[in-house]
Amino acid sequence: MNKQISVLQLIDSLQLGGAEVLAVNIANALSKVGIASYLCVSRNEGSLKENINPSVGYFFLERKRIVDVKAIKKLKNYIKKNDISIIHAHSTSYFLAICIKILHSKLKVIWHNHTGNNIGLKGKRLFLLKSCAIHMNYIISVNKDLDFWSKTVLKNTDGSYVRNFPVFTNLQKDTKLFGKKGKKILCIAGYRKEKDHINLLKAFLVVLKKDARCTLHLIGKNYHDAYGKSIQKFIINEKLEDRVFQYDLCCDIKNILDQADIGVLSSDSEGLPISLLEYGLAKLPVVVTNVGDCAAVVTNKQVVVPPKRSDKLADAIVSLINDTVLREKVASELHAEVLNNYSRECSVKKIIEIYREVL
């Protein structure tokens, strides 16, 4: 029965990010269970291209603008040629998917909503999304709040919450974290406003007053926009250049996690961050803000703090630095939670059931 299903994962780019990682992981996993699996990146290729299995059909669309007639025709022809029955669109790629569906009425579109702050959408962006949601056959949400929002605000009742899952595909050892062993604090998050790196940097200033040997390591795409420049300005103004290290995009995540001592996420908005699940898979103790589904994954509430409270964030980090027993307890609990409830097998099984349902 699986062989009758042909699915295209649609994503805007292959730069390292949670939605992008999950799209690649799903495509790879489907190809291993007999499903005809394809992946189309519409705008920009990136480092994650290297992680795509050879058994996955890959297509780079080179879309230039929001409404790109040439790109729409190319994708429609590719779908027809490969007899693809489902587009599984991730994040903002939903608009392109709906354009194709309007031209190809038999095609099914599933939208995977990864973005926690979509709940706050207003105006034209919300109107566009609601207009597209009418044509969606199913909405997958990465946490329960997003699922509720889809049903009540977008008025699309065909949907459910499906848990994200982590997989380490790149086992290279390219990146070396600077600093003293036992004192390396890691944050894996792209330089986007909702990740609130400034909150983390403020907390780190407090941490340094307690233990000057600590270092902070920021892994994530720097877009060199106003937000990225504000991070750089803070580091320079507070003279943190020898304590805070920025690495931009890195693909050897497992290698990086193996070198770190504490993982941190300081976001003010989330869905369910893949990096948090990767922290758990690597058995790294963490401190996270209570946003999205972070508190559902991190069961030890001593290390779950309110967003935008750098004082609370600093206290939780210091408690892990000073208490090896707590550090080991948090790490082992998170590891068990990820293994038991956020496995690739469980999530992919549910996704396949959704495909069968929409068909």
Chain segment 275-319, per-residue pLDDT in tens: 999 999 999 999 999 999 999 999 999 999 999 999 999 999 999
Interior CA angle at 354 toward 132 and 71, to 5°?
40
Q: Burial level of 62, CB count in 10 A (0-12/13-18/19+)? A: middle
pLDDT value at position 47?
87
Gap between the Cα atoms of 354 and 352, Å rounded: 5
Average pLDDT along the chain: 95
pLDDT value at position 18?
87
User: Which letter, b or e, does each residue of 91-112 get, where b requires 16 or more Cβ atoms within 10 Å of its Cβ?
Assistant: bbbbebbbbbbeeeeebbbbbb
Domains and CATH numbers, the chain: 2-165+343-358 (3.40.50.2000), 184-341 (3.40.50.2000)
Q: Tell if the pTM clears 0.85, that is, is over it.
A: yes
